[in-house]
Amino acid sequence: FTESWLKIGTGKSFVGALIAKIFHDHTDQKILVCCYTNHALDQFLEDLLDIGIPQESIIRMGGKSTTRTEPLSLYRQKMNTRFGHTDWLEIDACKENATNSLTKLQRDFSSYMELTKRRLPRASELLNYLEFADAEFHYAFTVPDGTEGGMRRVGKGGRGVTPVYLIERWLNGHNAGVLRDSENVLETPSVWEMPVSERRERIKEWQDTIIEECVERLYDLGKAFNDYQDQLTVKFAQNETLTLLSKRVRIIGCTTTAAAKYTQQLRHALPEVLLVEEAGEILESHVLTALGEETRRLILIGDHK
């Protein structure tokens, strides 16, 4: 890697245009030209036209342009291929999957917000969690099924014993109540003899884990939604991508903002040379976002101060 700087007014942009012409005339590599501002980009593209690079070899990405660079616009040169039946099936499937992911994401996010506001998780949620997380505790909190001799067992106040009866009593620091002689209660003394302080610590551990798993689900659903949206973006931009992939297009010009906006299209175009004009104005992170998987050469042109 070599680095050299030219001072203001010494012909940096002219040398940069010469470098671009050399690659255009003597290689088949595709060149991505990036600038910080639209003004600098249009000026450099006009320099490329002045130095003899044909108009049909250059594509300018982005909405702005000058009178001379307007014909270079991607929107002016974009290929127009119609979607077929298979394309629309793919689009409809992506839309449906994105909608389903968004619905689940909104539902789970509401559950997450509710969960983080509560002092304790709901007994039913905790029982469901323990079924797979801690077999001993789940067994200890399982209410026996059925009735005995046609009689229905009831708790305090004559209310019927619900499936969360045992876990609710444990959460509140009580014993097993009317089910203290049940087989599963008798077989799990360590659970029912646990001091209230230890119960609170255990509940906090379970709640933290439930929240963590909820966050992981939110991440997975959010990523799935974004992936489907990206697939739709790529699909609807396939004409732009096909245009950039065309062999006649040798130079693609854009600002660093457009490089971030059109990331997918640029990655498919596979530019092998990245030429940055007025590189002194651009943060290194912006240059990194413009680097593609096939980029083999980076040329930075700019004032050393």
Answer yes or no: is pLDDT of 107 > 60.
yes
For residue 1, the model assigns a pLDDT of 42
Answer yes or no: is pLDDT of 8 > 80.
no
Give residue for tokens 């030209």.
33
pTM of the model: 0.53
For residue 159, the model assigns a pLDDT of 64
| Helix or strand holding residue 273 (H, E) | strand 273-277
pLDDT, tens digit (0-9, with 9 covering 90-100), for 52-82: 999 889 989 887 888 888 888 887 777 666 7
Cβ-proximal residues to 182 (8 Å cutoff; 6+ apart), any chain? 144, 176
CA dihedral 260, 261, 264, 267 (to 10 degrees): -40
Highest mean pLDDT pick, 98-102, 110-114, 254-258: 98-102
For residue 9, the model assigns a pLDDT of 60
β-sheet with 273-277: strand ranges across: 58-60, 251-255, 31-35, 273-277, 297-301
Mean pLDDT of 177-190: 91
CA 282 to chain centre: 25
248 or 198, which is more confident? 198
Cβ-proximal residues to 171 (8 Å cutoff; 6+ apart), any chain? 120, 123, 126, 199, 203
- In the three-class reduction of DSSP (H, G, I as helix; E, B as strand; rest coil), residue 205 is classed as helix
pLDDT, tens digit (0-9, with 9 covering 90-100), for 78-106: 766 677 888 889 899 999 999 999 999 99
For residue 52, the model assigns a pLDDT of 92
Q: Residue 66, exposed/middle/buried by CB under 10 A (0-12, 13-18, 19+)?
A: middle
